């Protein structure tokens, strides 16, 4: 992205609770970063933003729009632009099975499927999911992160450290499959933009899924509206159209179905707002692992073993989680330090990897949330008993203590 946007966050204004009972569609230009942050992200409430991807490169090149005709997928361009490679696909029939397929084979199959105009449900058709196209082609700017979703500590940490990120492309042939009923990785937020086509989302407010637990405390992999109504479950149905972004809050279970052929860009992410929830999930999962292999607890490397299993099963262990917090804290502190002595105090510039400038309120808000979470972590038995983790927390707490004055003073409203 060549243009750098400013991300201006200011103190929370009182939220009108009445606005939060339905799912609202808002044009992206009609809601400021600040309002979106407090009204939806902080309230953990879904929203649809419209007019999000009209200007994206992929909206023009991956799709052919001929005057007077329906837009179609430009298979020729896709093959021209992207070299053949293996892509992750899922076959959605009964249990989701994941494998890999050549991208060109996938496109050829898809093109044939469209030409056959067979609209029957075909659950054996591959669904291209969780493709790391952006990290595969970092210089290909086929989309831009909407600024409303740009406070993303997870991908900021991962991309700047050359690690596997959570930025994906999905390509789903119509009526083929659904993404099963699930909650997102670590309990993260997700945002997803339809570049092409229409998806049907069924979204459950966090906690409603508990009404669906069976006698073995298992959740179903598939849901439908009738069954949800029978179980007295509150839910929302959203038809997401082209150029629309959906914000999926933390801990909200959902199922997604491709009503038409679809192409979407999806990110998973967390930030100051849901970091405490992510911590609860990581630590709860560690406790589960410790219980599961408790017969090995007298081995000298029991703790390391648990962390390894947690990383493999959950995707994130406590050391990695703490690394993310400390990385973000260090970056934010660096910018405060850099701007010291700078008369323009309301405008500390913090260039995140996403190329957005954070104002000083945002930086201090991020730091305050890291600070209080680190304090909570030091009181956790697992952290307290691990010398290395405990020491790292304490070091960062005392570092942040030196900035407590600055953190409490930051009140800029922009």
Ligand X SMILES: O=C(O)CCC(=O)C(=O)O
Residue 140's contacts (CB-CB under 8 Å, 6 or more residues apart) are: 81, 133, 134
Q: Of the two residues 131 and 371, which places its CB atom closer to ligand X in the complex?
A: 131
Window 132-171: residues binding ligand X (CB under 6 A): 170
Nearer to ligand X, 153 or 201 (CB): 201
Among 74, 250, 266, 307, binds ligand X (CB under 6 A): 266
Considering the rule CB under 6 A, would residue 271 count as an interface residue with ligand X? no
Candidates 159, 190, 250, 317; binder of ligand X (CB under 6 A) is 190
Helix (H) or strand (E) holding 136: helix 133-136
**Least distance in Å: CB of 253 to Fe ion?**
9
Tell me: does residue 250 bind ligand X (CB under 6 A): no
Q: Tokens 């898809």 label which residue?
A: 110
Answer for the pair 81, 56: CB distance below 8 angstroms, yes or no: no
Segment lying near ligand X (by CB under 6 A), choices 67-75, 184-192, 298-306, 319-327: 184-192
DSSP-assigned letters across all residues of 143-181? ----GGG---HHHHHHHHTT---SEEEEEE-TTT-EEEE
Q: 351: phi > 0 → left, psi -120 to 50 → alpha, else beta; which?
A: beta
Please compute, for residue 294, the number of CA atoms within 13 A of its CA located in the half-sphere on the CB side. 4
**Residue whose CB is less far from Fe ion, 168 or 371:** 168
Among 156, 184, 244, 360, binds Fe ion (CB under 5 A): 184
What phi, psi does 128 have (nearest 5°)? -80, 115
Residue 360 binds Fe ion (CB under 5 A): no
Nearer to ligand X, 186 or 361 (CB): 186
Question: Should residue 412 be labelled a site residue for ligand X when binding is judged by CB under 6 A?
Answer: no
For residue 185, the minimal CB distance to ligand X (Å) is 9
Q: How far apart are the first and last CA of the chain?
A: 23
Q: With contact defined as beta carbons under 8 Å apart, do 326 and 396 qualify? A: yes
The helix-helix angle for 387-401 and 360-378 (nearest 10°) equals: 140
- Cα separation of 153 and 286, whole Å? 21
Closest distance to ligand X from the beta carbon of 127 (Å): 7
Task: Determine if 179 is a binding residue for ligand X (CB under 6 A).
Answer: yes
Least distance from ligand X to the Cβ atom of residue 235, Å: 15
Q: Which is nearer to Fe ion, 249 or 361 (CB)?
A: 249
Comparing CB distances to ligand X, the nearer of 240 and 352 is 240
Q: Among ligand X, Fe ion, none, what binds residue 266 when CB lies within 5 to 8 Å by partner kind?
A: ligand X
Taking contact as CB under 5 A, which single stretch among the options 70-78, 83-91, 182-190, 386-394 is the one that binds Fe ion?
182-190
Chain residues that interact with Fe ion, rule: CB under 5 A: 184
């Amino acid at each position: 992205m060549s243009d750098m946007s400013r991300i201006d966050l200011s103190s929370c204004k009182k939220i009108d609770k009445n606005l939060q009972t339905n799912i609202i569609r808002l044009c992206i230009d009609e809601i400021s970063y600040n309002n979106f942050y407090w009204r939806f992200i902080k309230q953990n409430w879904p929203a649809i933003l419209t007019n999000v991807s009209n200007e994206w490169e992929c909206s023009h090149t991956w799709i052919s729009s001929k005057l007077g005709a329906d837009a179609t997928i430009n298979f020729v361009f896709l093959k021209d632009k992207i070299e053949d490679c293996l892509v992750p696909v899922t076959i959605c029939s009964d249990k989701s099975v994941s494998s890999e397929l050549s991208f060109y084979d996938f496109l050829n199959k898809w093109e044939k499927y469209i030409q056959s105009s067979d609209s029957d449900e075909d659950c054996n058709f591959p669904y291209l999911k969780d493709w790391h196209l952006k990290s595969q082609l970092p210089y290909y700017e086929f989309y831009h992160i909407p600024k409303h979703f740009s406070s993303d500590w997870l991908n900021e940490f991962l991309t700047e450290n050359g690690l596997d990120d959570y930025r994906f492309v999905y390509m789903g042939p119509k009526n083929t499959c659904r993404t099963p009923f699930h909650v997102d990785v670590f309990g993260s937020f997700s945002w997803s933009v339809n570049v092409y086509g229409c998806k049907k989302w069924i979204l459950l407010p966090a906690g409603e899924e508990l009404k669906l637990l069976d006698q073995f405390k298992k959740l179903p992999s598939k849901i439908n509206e009738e069954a949800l109504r029978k179980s007295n479950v509150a839910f929302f149905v959203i038809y997401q159209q082209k150029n629309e972004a959906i914000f999926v809050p933390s801990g909200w279970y959902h199922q997604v179905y491709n009503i038409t052929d679809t192409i979407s860009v999806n990110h998973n992410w967390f930030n100051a707002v849901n970091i405490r929830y992510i911590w609860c999930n990581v630590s709860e999962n560690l406790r589960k692992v410790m219980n599961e292999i408790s017969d090995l607890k007298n081995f000298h490397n029991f703790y390391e073993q648990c962390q390894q299993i947690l990383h493999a099963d959950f995707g994130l262990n406590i050391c990695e989680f703490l690394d993310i917090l400390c990385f973000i804290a260090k970056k934010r502190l660096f910018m405060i330090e850099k701007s010291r002595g700078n008369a323009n105090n309301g405008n500390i510039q913090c260039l995140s990897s996403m190329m957005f400038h954070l104002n000083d309120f945002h930086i201090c808000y991020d730091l305050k949330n890291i600070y209080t979470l680190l304090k909570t972590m030091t009181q956790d038995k697992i952290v307290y008993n691990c010398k290395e983790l405990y020491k790292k927390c304490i070091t960062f707490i005392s570092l942040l203590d030196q900035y407590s004055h600055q953190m409490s003073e930051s009140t800029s409203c922009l």
